[in-house]
Amino acid sequence: MEYLEKENMANVDQKQEKIEDEKKIIMRKKKKKLGGIKTMPFIFANEICDKFAATGFHSNMITYLTQELNMPLVQASNTLTNFGGTANFTPLFGALVADSFAGRFWTIVAGSIIYELGLISVTISAVLPTLRPPPCPTQVNCKEASGLQLWVLYISLLLSSLGSGGIRPCVVTFAADQFDMTKSSVTARSWNLFNWYYFSMGMATLTALTFVVYIQDNVGWGWGLGVPTIAMALSIIAFLVGSPLYNNIKPAGSPLVRLAQVIVAAVKKRKEVVPENPALLYENRELDADLSLHGRLVHTNQFKWFDKAAVVTNSHATDSKPPNLWKLATVHRVEELKCIIRMLPIWAAGIALIASSSHLHSFTILQARSMERHLSHSFQIPPASMSIFGNITMLVGLVMYERLFVPFARRFTGNPSGITCLQRMGVGFVINILTTVVASFVEIKRKAVAADHNLLDDPKAIIPISIFWLVPQFCLHGVAEVFMSVGHLEFLYDQSPESMRSTAAALYWIAISMGNYIGTLMVSLVHKYSGKKSNWLPDRNLNRGRLEYYYWLVSGIQVINLLYYVICSWLYTYKPLEEVSEICEEDKEVLAGDKIPSMILDSRNAHGEVELGRNETA
């Protein structure tokens, strides 16, 4: 009898859940006038100006540190990667602030203002001679920057790191908030938000690499850093102008607290027996309303130990009042924790990839500075501008991916996206390995030419080898970004719980942060233990180094990481979502009359049963 009563209660709960779904549809219709494509110019203008400023600020900083502040190569490279690590770790705090109480809009505004203060500080330090050491054209016996001068630099870098923490995890998710991102709506659209987001960022990067870097190398660092500072100020204004049009999603509370509540509740009820029928686990659609605007996570059989948190016992007074969430969690909240656990192994694979490539651009710029860069008698390519070849490849690759590759792949896979996010990331891993292998052979060629002309002992010599030898590795890196970077970001957004998407986007940046820190450790260890006479990464004269050995080392690490990723992606199970969708023309009648729209539960089969455990591996 007790079992039948629980079954009846479960049926009543399901009916109540449908009513809540219908209410949710009506509320979404009321908000439909906000958001949409009209908000994209303002949001993308903010991110484009931000990316322009960030790229103009950072792309040539290895030159600023070594040529203007006279820092040794390894110290300068480690300073940049440590700063990059910090800048990519702070998004976790920005995401938690946005998801917990501030919302994405105000988090972006605050982060942009702090970032602007950092840019102003570093621009002032570049203008005032007292904040830089004396010039050292020969790069021999140079006076390095004093402690005060370095502290001004570090404070500027810290401010920009804190500011980026409010911008990076929120902009792409804030842009997604302006659209219906349910599975059915995304499939119906002929364009991919993440592809075009990355394309816009690429255009901003391309402009900075050509325009700002040229100013830094040929006009001066005052204007070279001042232009990004002005661009960032304009981005703040553009973002605020569009504020009346935005669809602002109400923050649903701290995601870390919710995850902790599930773990604590499961530990407290570790001796309870999980019922075989998942319908007997606790669900409360009203309690989870703010966490599941586009659909509810349904029960899965993975990590069943955490289901203990949703087991209803006699001590839980669930009918009269909301339960104590530290003792009883809903199925949706339990599945949020399971989603994060499932994602972590895939996410971790990106860390080794970033660690392996974190120093490549700084070393490549120094290689380019030693090569023949003239396009004409009076014009030569700035070393930092070589990244435009990777950037252009990425931009062209994104368009070709969406317009050619996706329709072609769809014929064979039946997937509206062509291939899955996991498959897309896997291709990126493979191409990244090719990138470092090619880079090693180019370095061997560069040093061979230097040896032929007896230039190995001259760190300032221009070796008679064209800078365009570096183009293939930049192009390969651009192709890898089309697959790996966009696929990684889309995977984290799509597979994360709806209420944790800023936090999931922060995971993207945290992987970069941890990769940068590990990359710094790798470079420091290689520099320390690779010998004094033939050090792989010497402080001043790259010609006497063994940079190709370092490239081979990181290639080997990436091969091991690829094997790990293939295993993780093979075992990964995509999250099952019970998605509520409106049907055709019934939408127009919601606000005009009393008719309640029909609902499609896209994770249910024809019999109304939830299909669980569908394993779509890469």
* Residue matched to tokens 């402009």: 207
Residue 563 CB neighbour total at 10 angstroms: 10
| 561 band by pLDDT with thresholds 50, 70 and 90 | very high
Task: Kindly state whether residues 285 and 239 are assigned to the same domain.
Answer: no
Inside any domain, residue 276: yes
pLDDT digits (tens, 9 = 90+) for 449-498: 988 888 887 877 888 888 899 999 989 988 998 898 888 888 888 888 87
Comparing 27-31, 291-295, 565-569, 575-579, the range with the smallest average pLDDT is: 27-31
* Residue 20: per-residue pLDDT: 57
Q: What digits encode the pLDDT tens for the residues 114-127?
A: 989 988 988 888 88
Asked which of 336, 362, 388 is the last residue of a domain, the reply is 336
Phi first, then psi: what are they for 433, rounded to 5°?
A: -65, -45
Instruction: Spell out the alpha helix ranges (H) of 147-220.
Output: 147-177, 183-188, 193-207, 213-218
Q: Which of 298, 316, 336 is the last residue of a domain?
A: 336
- How far is it, in rounded angstroms, from Cα 389 to Cα 395? 10
What is the mean pLDDT of the segment spanning 532-557?
Answer: 83
In 10 A of CB 2, how many CB atoms?
A: 6
- For the chain, the average pLDDT equals 78
Structure tokens at 1: 């009898």
- 8 A C-beta contact, residue 370 and residue 461: yes
CA angle 514–520–523, rounded 5-degree value: 140
List Cα–Cα distances, 385 to 48, 59, 369, 392, 460, in angstroms.
18, 8, 11, 12, 19
- What are the pLDDT digits (tens) for 408-424? 988 888 888 888 889 99
Q: Is the pLDDT at 586 greater than 50, yes or no?
A: no
Report the CATH number that the domain containing residue 523 is assigned in CATH. Answer: 1.20.1250.20
Residue whose pair of structure tokens reads 């004093």 in the numeric block:
146
pLDDT tier for residue 437 given thresholds of 50, 70 and 90? very high
In contact, 569 and 495? CB cutoff 8 Å: no
SS3 category, 514: helix
Distance of alpha carbon 370 from the chain centroid: 33
The confidence band for 603, taking pLDDT boundaries of 50, 70 and 90, is very low
What pLDDT is recorded for position 189? 55
Per-residue pLDDT of 62-104, as tens digits, reads 778 877 887 877 778 778 777 777 777 788 888 888 878 788 8
Looking at the fold, whether 239 and 384 belong to one and the same domain comes out as no
- Out of 23-27, 273-277, 399-403, pick the least confident: 23-27
Domain count, the chain: 3
Three-class secondary structure of residue 359 per DSSP: coil
Average of per-residue pLDDT across 532-539? 77
**CB atoms closer than 10 angstroms to residue 217:** 19
> What number is the average pLDDT over the span 544-566?
90
Report the percentage of the chain scoring pLDDT > 70: 82
The verdict on residue 612 lying in a domain is no
- Do 449 and 558 belong to one domain? yes
The residues near 321 (Cβ < 8 Å, ≥ 6 apart) are none
Q: What pLDDT shows up at residue 74?
A: 74
- Domain region containing 74: 34-252
Q: How does DSSP assign 89-154, residue by residue?
A: HTHHHHHHHIIIIIHHHHHHHHHHHHHHHHHHHHHHHHH-GGGSPPP-TT-SSPPPPPHHHHHHHH
pLDDT > 90: what percent of the chain?
A: 10
Whether the CB-CB separation of 431 and 425 falls below 8 Å is answered with no
Do 378 and 497 fall within a single domain? yes
Of 574, 562, 549, 283, the closest CA to residue 415 belongs to 574
Q: Which two tokens stand for residue 552?
A: 């081979």
Q: Are residues 217 and 265 in the same domain?
A: no
Q: Is the dihedral of CA 385, 390, 393, 397 positive or negative?
A: negative
CA 450 to chain centre: 39
Specify the residue for token string 């809540």.
20
Q: pLDDT tier at 369 (50, 70, 90 boundaries)?
A: confident
- Domain shared by 537 and 428, yes or no: yes
Residues contacting residue 592 through CB under 8 Å, at least 6 positions apart: none
Whether residue 131 sits in one domain with residue 222: yes
- Cα separation, 366 vs 387, in Å, equals 13
Does pLDDT of 616 surpass 50? no
In a domain, 403, yes or no: yes
Can you state the angle between helices 40-58 and 103-127, rounded to 10 degrees? Answer: 30
If pLDDT is split at 50, 70 and 90, which confidence band does 366 have?
confident
